[in-house]
Structures are given as C-alpha cells and as structure tokens.
Amino acid sequence: MPSRLLRLAYACEFLLALVAIFTAWSEIGGQAALDLMHWGWKFGLSFPLAAAIVAYTAALVSEQGLWTLRSARWLTAILILLLGTGVVTYYYALQVENGDSDENSGNVSFSRAMESTGFHFS
C-alpha cells in the first residue's frame, strides 16, 4: 500500500479510535463521572491513547512478526493509559457518589446566599 494511503488510513483510525474511546469510557465509567471530570484529564488520556493505538497498528503493519519489541512497547503504553483512565474515572465516580448526599444541602445554601444579597425567588 502506498505511504499516502497508509497515512490517510492512520488518520481515519485515529479519529475512529477517539470516538470509540469516548463511547466506551462513558458506557463503562459512567457519564456522570465524565461530566464531573476536568477536560484536561479527558484530553490528556484520550488523545495519547488514540495515538498509541495508531502507533501499535503501525508497528504491526511495518514488521513481519506479530510480536516485536516495538509492538510490545506500544501495547504496554496502551495498557498503562487504560489503567490511568480507570484510576481517574474511579476517583470521579467516588466523587459522584459523595456528591449525591450533599446535593440538597448545596441548593439550600445557595438559596440562602441569594436571599441575603436581596435577590428573592418568585
């Protein structure tokens, strides 16, 4: 396959990997945890993971054997990024669970703060 077509295929694979990562992340980790999560975590974990998936595919395509040192390194990077994604998602899932019990008290304190400034709800 010509190198131009390979680059196009890798770019398409990168975009498809991003869609798959975010879809699986919201289904497995829960959308509530993703909604709470800072955008930096999402960006910092999803883009390198998609890039590592493309690099792993490139390592498999470029070499004759299936298990080479290069492909093993990229597979290790994928697994480490997935582990990091799981740890961060677990942390935010615990925050969602803790936040549910404080939800009503937060609304009451906001209402009292607004009333103390002279703003009244009708």
For the segment 9-32, what is each residue's pLDDT rounded down to a tens digit? Answer: 999 999 999 999 999 999 999 999
Query: How confident is the model at residue 69, as a pLDDT?
Result: 93
Query: How confident is the model at residue 44, as a pLDDT?
Result: 96
Closest CA to 41 of 73, 98, 4, 84: 84
> Domain locations in the chain?
3-99
Query: How confident is the model at residue 3, as a pLDDT?
Result: 84
Contact present, 89 and 33 (Cβ < 8 Å) = yes
In angstroms, the CA 19 to CA 49 distance is 12
Does 85 score more than 90 pLDDT?
Answer: yes
- Sort 6 into a burial class: Cβ within 10 Å, 0-12 / 13-18 / 19+: middle
Give 30-84 pLDDT, tens digit per residue: 999 999 999 999 999 999 999 999 999 999 999 888 889 999 999 999 999 999 9
Reported confidence tier of residue 99, pLDDT bands at 50, 70, 90: confident
What's the pTM?
Answer: 0.76
Tally: H helices and E strands in the chain: 5, 0
Token code pair at residue 91: 């942390």
